Amino acid sequence: MPVIIQKYGGSSLATPDLIKSVAAKICATHDSGNSVVATVSAMGDSTDNLLSIASQVSVMPDLRELDVLLSTGELQSCALLTMALKDMGKKAVSLSGAQAGIRTDSSHGKAKIADIDTSRILVELEAQNIVIVAGFQGVTSDSDITTLGRGASDLTAVALAAGLNADRCEIYTDVEGIYTADPRLVPEAQKMTQIGFEEMLELASYGAKMNPRSIELGMAYQVPILVASSFNDEPGTLIYDGGNMDSTVGEIRNRVRGIATDKDVAKITVFSVVDRPGIAADLFDPLAESDISVDIIVQNASVSGTTDLTFTVKQSDVNRAMKVVEEVANNLGTTNVGKTENLAKISIVGTGMQDSPGYASTMFRALSEANINIEMITTSEIRITCIIGAEMVGEAAEVLHAAFELERSD
Amino acid sequence: MPVIIQKYGGSSLATPDLIKSVAAKICATHDSGNSVVATVSAMGDSTDNLLSIASQVSVMPDLRELDVLLSTGELQSCALLTMALKDMGKKAVSLSGAQAGIRTDSSHGKAKIADIDTSRILVELEAQNIVIVAGFQGVTSDSDITTLGRGASDLTAVALAAGLNADRCEIYTDVEGIYTADPRLVPEAQKMTQIGFEEMLELASYGAKMNPRSIELGMAYQVPILVASSFNDEPGTLIYDGGNMDSTVGEIRNRVRGIATDKDVAKITVFSVVDRPGIAADLFDPLAESDISVDIIVQNASVSGTTDLTFTVKQSDVNRAMKVVEEVANNLGTTNVGKTENLAKISIVGTGMQDSPGYASTMFRALSEANINIEMITTSEIRITCIIGAEMVGEAAEVLHAAFELERSD
């Protein structure tokens, strides 16, 4: 019998009625002749509520205890969904992360899955049970509960699919799939029927709110992932290993698949840094120690022994980052540090772009014709990213969507 | 180092501030040079809230899944209390019932503790940790979560005390101890400084809301139990194995220790039952199958081959019980079944009463002088119980409290 893994997000389980309709969806998959293992997030806002209570009993909640606390949200939705299934006459059983054999390291709050012992799940499937697994959590070799990080119920689903060698992993959420751009910015945005893992990784920053680690895991274990709505029966988007086919099909297919946007960006430039080995480490180690994520880094070509180093951080981190940079600037041989706030990141994503010049110039020309100034440019193999003013991001997404004819996507 | 087990009830942990003050109480015990293991109930109304959600997803929630759901309440308070302790600079660790080694049978919703594997707790105590254990729950040999029944966090505490051979078990709750009568009925009721296990078992139906199974367990393992308020530092009541000393001390001490009351009583009488062997089983088996608890049973002496059989049930069960009894009455050779609703049970409790006549007559005379009619009488070795009208229970408690001079108790 085919094994299907499903995942339902918190907004899909926010009320007793929604839990019942998720149960009905699972029943339908089971009735079509599949073995079903479903994993769930915590109901609605319950994780945020638990975090709020934790902050009221402790200034800096202990990470091990926070994991125990937060893991209860998924246990609750897991038990409730299983009750609803049994009420519909189905054989079903709930399993905690520990019972499902999801073994992790002991990095509380952001644990990594070490391996999955599927023996208990296999016993339950053998007994004709629908298996509901609490998402987002695992257990250490010392039997301590861990959580995998925000949004990591997706990861549980893909890991179960990999461990059980499942036929498919289905992520049901509050969007209908992966779009060519954020539909809130670009009304013409099209839902894709399919997309490659690598392209999806680049797009993961918007829309489907897919956890990037789960896409990486799906790519590593070649688990096809369907992203679809839990609120209707529309077909959704299949993320699969065939993304690179685009480049072999050649010029016929449009190589830009989608536009990713992120409005939470600020940039910091350290001017006239002495250009010597180790300069980057001297700057970025203190930022990492302060737990500030640096996104894009651009170092201009060295002129007369000094160089300008520019990098982006989240808008909310910019003041803390400035403080750290100003403290270390002296060691870098400069005191000249500047910041620009309220920026946005806009990217075009598609496999095979690297081999095909013209995409970059099309992008830059489209932005220029719309009078949108580009502050920084970076590229990866399958992505070209520009940093622009945050207030321009909607217009930029519109003109790029039109320039690459994405309204004509599949 | 002495090992102290503490238990904190849900009303003692209902808000973040209350959790912090419980943490302070635990700190104080630890700072006095004790090893502390504390067990907790779920915060405030959280168990009732979970039950309400369960009833909205399932007409008859599956018992295994209900246990998973309900066990999360104690996990949450357990993690929050541990966070609060760590915030105060203490070494502390939370353990679920499973992690604490509380192994049970698989009777979901009312599991019995099979044994306690204290190895993990001992490791944590050895590492100088304060150990906080989620009450009310355990784990089967198949790693399934069980709960021990409502109010069974007391049971967790006493079982841990027995398993760890603790010096004392302290139950902190929203009352200051065990009283000679329910203080809401009898303003003169006195808090006892100590009481024997057997007497406490008989009194357990009111006031301290102590779980009777935990008193039995304390009696079996000779674990002294202190019941006290979590909201102040008043001394509380010690339940211990010395209760029978009263009878050896002789006439000097008042043998009636307290008055137990219960207003939730109705009685059913089956008249003119054919008096043959097996009649009681024929009547009470169907009631047990319908999950109706029968409390007191009285069978009158047989007159000319027939007998009247009277028993009490909870007021809320009386209509269901009548239906069952009417269905089986024909088999019993009668059709004559009657009920009386809105009754109460009032008992005087004390060791050594059996050997000393006069207590029963004092009780009956006191009630009679207050014009309180007695509907039924039953006795145990240490208790005399009368069934009276529910509206008379306050006055009855007052007159009995005065008749046995309980306002002069220790």
Mean pLDDT of chain A: 89
Instruction: Report the domain count for chain A.
Output: 2
Model confidence at A254, in pLDDT bands (50, 70, 90)? low
Whether the Cβ atoms of residue A348 and residue A404 lie closer than 8 Å to each other = yes
Q: Are residues A292 and A235 in the same domain?
A: no
pLDDT above 90 (res A306): no
Residue B120: give its domain's CATH number.
Answer: 3.40.1160.10
Higher pLDDT, A332 or B82: B82
- Read off the pLDDT of each residue in A294-308 and give the average, rounded to a whole number: 79
Give the CA dihedral A261, A266, A272, A276, nearest 10 degrees.
-70
List the strands of the sheet with A337-349, edge to edge: A294-299, A306-314, A258-274, A337-349, A383-389, A376-380
Higher pLDDT, A295 or B14: B14
Can you tell me the distance from the alpha carbon of A232 to that of A174, in angstroms, rounded to the nearest whole number? 10
Does the beta-carbon distance from A82 to B75 stay under 8 Å? Answer: no
B61 touches A: beta carbon within 8 Å: yes
Residue-wise pLDDT for B37-68, tens only, equals 999 999 999 999 999 999 999 999 999 999 99
Q: Are residues A145 and A278 in the same domain?
A: no
Which residue, B6, B67, B78, is CA-closest to B42?
B78
One-letter amino acid identity for B59? Answer: V
Residues 103-142 of chain B whose Cβ lies under 8 A from any Cβ of chain A: 120
Looking at chain A, the whole-number percentage of residues with pLDDT higher than 90 is 63
Q: Are residues A277 and A227 in the same domain?
A: no
pLDDT above 90 (res B130): yes
Chain B residues in contact with A93 by the CB 8 A cut-off are: 64
Q: Are residues A227 and A267 in the same domain?
A: no
Can you tell me the distance from the alpha carbon of A386 to that of A371, in angstroms, rounded to the nearest whole number? 14
Which residue, A392, A340, A339, A404, is CA-closest to A368?
A392
Whether the Cβ atoms of residue B136 and residue B156 lie closer than 8 Å to each other = yes
Q: Where are the extended beta strands (E) located within B275-336?
A: 294-299, 306-314
Whether the Cβ atoms of residue B310 and residue B269 lie closer than 8 Å to each other = yes
Phi (first) and psi of residue A73, to 5 degrees: -60, -45
E strand or H helix at A382: none
SS3 category, B137: strand
List the single range of A386-390, B71-75, B107-111, B347-351 with lowest mean pLDDT.
Answer: B347-351
Residue A372: give its domain's CATH number.
Answer: 3.30.2130.10
Q: Are residues A274 and A205 in the same domain?
A: no
In a domain, B298, yes or no: yes
Q: Are residues B396 and B287 in the same domain?
A: yes
**Which of B113, B148, B174 is a domain's end point?**
B174
pLDDT of residue B378: 85
pLDDT of residue B248: 44
**Which of B118, B149, B174 is a domain's end point?**
B174
A375 touches B: beta carbon within 8 Å: no
In a domain, A199, yes or no: yes
Q: Are residues A198 and A262 in the same domain?
A: no
DSSP bridge pairs for A226: A170, A238
- CA angle A96-A175-A262, nearest 5°? 100
What number is the ipTM of this complex?
Answer: 0.81
Does the beta-carbon distance from B82 to A61 stay under 8 Å? Answer: no
Question: Which single residue is written with the structure tokens 């990217």?
Answer: A347
- Read off the pLDDT of each residue in A67-87 and give the average, rounded to a whole number: 97
- Read off the pLDDT of each residue in B99-107 and give the average, rounded to a whole number: 96
Q: Are residues B158 and B278 in the same domain?
A: no
Q: Where are the extended beta strands (E) located within A117-246?
A: 130-134, 137-139, 145-147, 168-173, 194-196, 225-229, 237-240
In a domain, A213, yes or no: yes
In a domain, A395, yes or no: yes
pLDDT of residue A292: 87
Q: Are residues A217 and A302 in the same domain?
A: no
Q: Is the dihedral of CA B75, B81, B84, B89 positive or negative?
A: negative
Chain B residues in contact with A97 by the CB 8 A cut-off are: none
Q: Are residues A169 and A279 in the same domain?
A: no
Q: Taking the CB of residue A87, how many other CB atoms lie within 10 A of it?
A: 17
Can you tell me the distance from the alpha carbon of A117 to that of B91, in angstroms, rounded to the nearest whole number? 32
Flag whether the pTM goes above 0.80.
Answer: yes
Does the beta-carbon distance from B72 to A72 stay under 8 Å? Answer: yes
**Which of A213, A243, A273 is a domain's end point?**
A243
- CA angle B400-B227-B158, nearest 5°? 120
Which residue, B258, B159, B264, is CA-closest to B201?
B258
In a domain, B52, yes or no: yes
Residue-wise pLDDT for B226-264, tens only, equals 999 999 888 999 999 875 444 444 443 557 889 999 888
In a domain, B170, yes or no: yes
Name the residue range of residue A182's domain.
Answer: 3-243
